[in-house]
Structure 1
Amino acid sequence: MKKQSFRIVQILVGLVFTTLLQAQNVVTTNEAISLALDNNYGIKIANNLIEEAENNTNILNSGFLPSLTGNAGAVYNKDSGRTEFNNDFDPRIISGAESSRYNANINLNYTIFDGLGRYYNYKTLKETYNLTEIQARETIENTIVQLLTVYYDVARRSENFGSLQTTLDISKDRLTRASYQFDYGQNTKLDVLNAEVDVNNDSINVINMRQSLVNAKRDLNFVTGNTISNIFEVDTDIDFLLTLNKDDLLEKLKQNNVNLIQVEKNIQINEFTIKANKSGYLPSIGLTGTYGWNESNNNLASIVGFTTNTGVSAGINLTWNLFDGGGTITRVKNAQIALENQKLQKEQLILSVVRDFENAWDDYQNKLTIFRVQQDNIRTAINNFQRTEEQFKLGQVTSIEFRQAQLNLLSAELNTNQAKYDAKLAEIVVLQLSGELLNSAF
């Protein structure tokens, strides 16, 4: 009767647990990536930097437009004075004489030619914008890698939690069986105590794994900008891109690797910098224009009492810095050295990235092999446990032998889970290095 009641409770608990799982939101990798792209703060900052770089490439920041300035002023005087004449006239005394002057003008300045300096500066701004886009792509790639690392950690812990929970259920069933057998005198109290110890140990493992799973889910929610509901599950199904070709990826790496593209953009920027610095060797030609208005209200001491002037003036000027102390020559030489260093760094980076790809590819293949071996191992462990369980129920093996088979199965499950997600993360590294991460589905 007790055994029947216990089985009913187990069934009810299982139904409730299944209902809760079904009610929870299952977040897929694509959904998590989409949430991260929309809400991750690092990506938001990168997008703002792109917008700033785009503003810098606007015609308003190019130097090709003229400058227009307006000036105005007013002066007020109140003077007192005494004037004496040489021809014996009486002195002339002025007290509190007021005068005022007003002026306003608009000045136009436009550089027609500056040795092509602003042209190459503008080209530099364009390439800087392109570089900022590549840097934003790098931020996105790193965020996706971080997201998938956390996501698959949640998936691994979820599967581990299920394995540990199953192990605990088996231990509880064994404790119930041992208790019944003790009640009917079929075994000793020692078997019951051993079963209780195993239940307690398994319970502790479940509690610890549950907490680590909760923490991992918080990490995943953090990467997505805290946009996932508090109760959610992840998809534990893994598909490997087994059609990947090493030679194809290696060729794409040289064209699409984000670090190599950034170095290439920096080289182009430095080439424009050299040309912009060389503009110091050439003259600068500019146009100037002014429209002005002046008004003067003079005091009684002046011969002219009131004047008003308006006028337009225009001119062209040429400036040629024939020698600036060697500053331009030094800047050009240093920019050429910097360009040469960047080309050397590119060659070094190519060797480094190719080496990293070779290592990542071998690591990926190795982890796939380990995962396949673990799959074979878990099938063996399941078969061994099932046979041991049947013999245990028939009393042909001891509880210690049964426990060992149970632990072997648990170890095989945990190792298989670890191997599966290690292989998937290794695959992600290969895709990132080859520049194919954003073109792949997970």
Structure 2
Amino acid sequence: MMNYKNNFILLFLISFTASFAQELLTKENAIGIALENNYGIKISGNNLKIAENNKGILNSGYLPTLTSNAGATHNLDNTKAVFSNGEITNLENANSSRFNASVSLNYTLFDGFGRLYNYRQLIEQYNLSELQARETIEKTILQLFTVYHNVAQLTENVALLNKSLEISKDRLLRAKYQSDYGQNTKLNVLNAEVDLNNDSIALLNTKQLLSNAKRDLFVVLGKNESPNFSVDTQVIFVITKNKQELFQQVKTNNITLLQIEKGINISDFQLKANKSGYLPTIGLTSTYGWSKNNNNSASFLSESTNNGLSTGLSLKWDLFDGGRTTTQVQNAKINYETQQFSKQQSELQITRNFNNAWEDYNTKLFILQTQEKNVETNKRNFLRTEETFKLGQITSIEFRQAQVNLLNAQSNLNQATYDAKNAELKLLQLTGELLNTEF
């Protein structure tokens, strides 16, 4: 369909035969399904087809025009004819007829190079449409991964809450046994029941959020089926280049800058095409015609037939067109200058966006590393707390606090992981490498 789309499918689409009856929706399959079904990508694909048609030879102006004409006339006249010898002829309802047919070929030999620069504009417009299609794919893939990672994060949170729920169930069972044997008061049982209920509610709410997130993912995929699937929760970071290397890629591959360059080229060709109005136009015309006349008896010739080929050249030069061409040239110069200003403005904005994205990515990586350490600390704390709780050396409240701390630390780690990955994807999009990256 389009080069960017085809290349991306080759990179990421392992097989498009899988359906959502499968248990796991991988990242590769999700990308392939989005490329095939996302409506934004379909619309950009159609726009690209239109641009491809426009740049074709049939729309270039370089082909001649071929026109055919034919006609027939029948007359029924009352005629009084006076001849030079004095003879008079009166005709009533005299029949006469005329027939003609022709084929004309018209071709513009020279139009001041306007046709050439208009054709180059169409080629650049196609290139611009191709870049716009790539931008649509990039934004769709970025949106896809944002939603996909949300599903993955909620999936892991559900797993964490299930584990926490099992711990709370075990704690309640232990409290009941201890209460039955007089080792604890009924208060410990009630506290354990309250905490178990809270864990159950938290799990139920998270499962609802997960279902909603899966429906959001289906919208991006362009599907309208029951979202009964799981996702890949593994996260791999792929950026290995330093800041300067990435910034060089921004200057050469950023999709916004590339589109502005095409806009500048289009404005330049438009300026040159408008200047062609100062030059003459030379055309070639060739016609093959046939005609036949059937005259009434008042004519000297009762019948005549003609056929033949005629060819000619024409030259048209608007020495003064009321200032129309001058105005168009001046406006085209202003538009070209505006495109240059737009480029400079975009370069400033994209440089700022890159610096922000780079710092955001590194900050989130640091937070991720810190959260990993925090989880390890809370794990050790929980294991020690669990041992002392089983020995009856600490209260259930202290045990519960250690349990909640570990759950929060693990949840924060999940959040930090996917925040860092999404920050990396935004950075890759700015560098123009999003579609060239394996996830």
Task: Name the TM-score, length of structure 2 as normaliser.
Answer: 0.90
Shift of 1:228: 8.4
Label 1:407 to 1:305 Cα distance change in 2 as closer, same or farther (>3 A). same
- Amino acid of the residue matched to residue 296 of structure 1? N
The counterpart of 1:77, out of the listed 75, 78, 93, is 75
CA shift at 1:240, angstroms?
1.5
Q: Is the counterpart of residue 362 in structure 1 residue 359 in structure 2?
A: yes
Supply the AA of the counterpart residue of 1:428.
Answer: L
Report the counterpart of residue 410 of structure 1 in structure 2. Answer: 407
* Distance in 2, Cα, partners of 1:300 & 1:38: 76
Q: How far is the alpha carbon of 1:87 from its aligned partner? A: 9.8
Q: Which residue is equivalent to 2:38?
A: 40
Q: Which residue of 1 aligns with 2:182?
A: 185
Structure 2 CA distance for aligned equivalents of residues 302 and 427 of structure 1: 93
Structure 1 residues 60 and 386 mapped into 2: Cα distance closer, same or farther (>3 Å)?
same
Q: 1:219 and 2:197 equivalent?
A: no
DSSP-derived class of the 1:70 partner = strand
How far residue 182 of structure 1 moved from its aligned partner, in angstroms, is 2.3
Q: Is the 8 A contact 1:35 1:227 kept in 2?
A: no
1:345-393 Cα shifts (integer Å, max 9, x gaps): 1111111101110011001000000111111111111111111212222
Q: 2:431 aligns with which of 420, 431, 434?
A: 434
Query: Against the structure 1 CA distance between its residues 86 and 130, is the aligned structure 2 distance closer, same or farther, given a 3 Å change threshold?
Result: closer
Structure 2 Cα separation of the partners of residues 296 and 93 of structure 1: 18
- Following superposition, the deviation at residue 296 of structure 1 comes to 2.0
| Distance change (3 Å), C-alpha of 1:400 and 1:145 | same
Match of 2:242 among 237, 245, 251: 245
Decide which moves more: 74-83 or 188-197. 74-83
- 1:52 maps to 50
> What is residue 7 of structure 1 aligned with on the other side?
none
Separation in structure 2 between the aligned mates of residue 105 and residue 391 of structure 1, nearest angstrom: 107
Distance 1:405-1:328 versus aligned 2 partners, 3 A rule:
same
Q: Distance in 2 between matches of 1:246 and 1:228?
A: 43
One-letter amino acid of the structure 2 residue matched with residue 65 of structure 1? L
The 5 A counterparts of 1:90-105 are 92-94=90-92, 96-105=93-102
The 1:91–1:235 alpha-carbon spacing in structure 2 relative to 1, beyond 3 Å, is: closer
- Greater alpha carbon shift after TM alignment, 165-174 vs 283-292: 165-174
Indicate how the Cα distance of structure 1 residues 336 and 86 shifts in structure 2: closer, same or farther if over 3 A, else same: closer
Contact kept in structure 1, 2:80 and 2:88, CA below 8 Å: no
Instruction: Give the distance between the partners of 1:87 and 1:423, measured in 2 at CA.
Output: 111
**Displacement of 1:416:** 0.7
Separation in 1, partners of 2:45, 2:157: 38
Secondary structure of the corresponding residue to residue 78 of structure 1: strand
5+ residue gaps, structure 2, are 1-20
The answer on whether the counterparts of 2:154 and 2:206 sit within 8 Å (CA) in structure 1 is yes
Alignment of 1:3-152 (within 5 A): 25-80=23-78, 92-94=90-92, 96-152=93-149
2:239/2:424 contact within 8 Å kept? no
Task: Indicate if the aligned counterparts of 2:293 and 2:304 stay in contact, CA closer than 8 A.
Answer: yes
Identity %: 58
Secondary structure of the structure 1 residue equivalent to 2:400: helix
Deviations 1:110-138 (A, max 9, x none): 11110000011111111111111111111
CA distance, structure 1, for counterparts of residue 309 and residue 269 of structure 2: 39
Q: Give per-residue Cα distances to partners, 1:393-414, cap 9 Å, x unaligned.
A: 2222222221111111111111
Q: How far is 1:189 from its partner?
A: 2.4
Quick one: distance in 2 between partners of 1:90 and 1:31? 96
Q: For 1:56, give the aligned amino acid.
A: N
After TM superposition, give the deviation of residue 61 of structure 1 in Å. 1.1
Paired position in structure 1 for 2:338: 341
Find out whether 1:285 has 2:287 as its counterpart: no
- CA drift of 1:191 comes to 2.0
* RMSD, aligned CA: 2.1
For 2:42, the aligned partner's letter is K
* AA at the equivalent of 2:120: K
One-letter code of the match for 1:208? N
Instruction: Find the aligned partners of 2:343 and 2:88 in 1 and give their Cα distance.
Output: 92
SS at match of 1:250: helix
Q: Which amino acid aligns with 1:79?
A: D
Q: 1:440 to 1:182 in 2, by over 3 A?
A: same
Q: Match of 1:58, as an amino acid?
A: G
Q: Distance in 1 between matches of 2:82 and 2:417?
A: 110
Give the Cα–Cα distance (whole angstroms) in 1 for the partners of residues 76 and 88 of structure 2. 23
1:297 aligns with 2:294: yes
CA 1:300–1:85: 2 relative to 1, 3 Å: closer
Equivalence for 1:201: 198
Query: Which ranges of structure 1 fall in alignment gaps of 5 or more residues?
Result: 1-22
Matched AA of 1:207: L
1:90 and 1:334, CA in 2 relative to 1: closer, same or farther beyond 3 A? closer
Does the aligned pair in 2 maintain the 1:40–1:223 contact within 8 Å?
yes
Residues 120 and 273 in structure 1, CA contact (< 8 A), matched pair in contact too: yes
The one-letter code of the counterpart of 1:182 is: S
Which residue does 1:384 correspond to in 2? Answer: 381
- 8 A contact 1:156–1:421 mirrored in 2: yes
Q: Partner amino acid for 2:178?
A: Q
Structure 1 position 307 matched with structure 2 position 304 = yes
User: 1:263: which partner in 2?
Assistant: 260
Q: Is the 8 A contact 2:120 2:269 kept in 1?
A: yes
> How far apart, in 1, do the equivalents of 2:225 and 2:232 lie?
14
Contact 1:62–1:122 (Cα < 8 Å) also in 2: yes
**AA at the equivalent of 2:119:** Y
Distance apart, 1:91 and its partner CA: 7.3
How many pairs align?
Answer: 419
Call closer, same or farther: CA 1:114–1:242 in 2, change over 3 Å.
closer
Q: How does 1:151-162 map to 2 (within 5 A)?
A: 151-162=148-159
State the distance in 2 between where 1:242 and 1:36 align.
Answer: 24
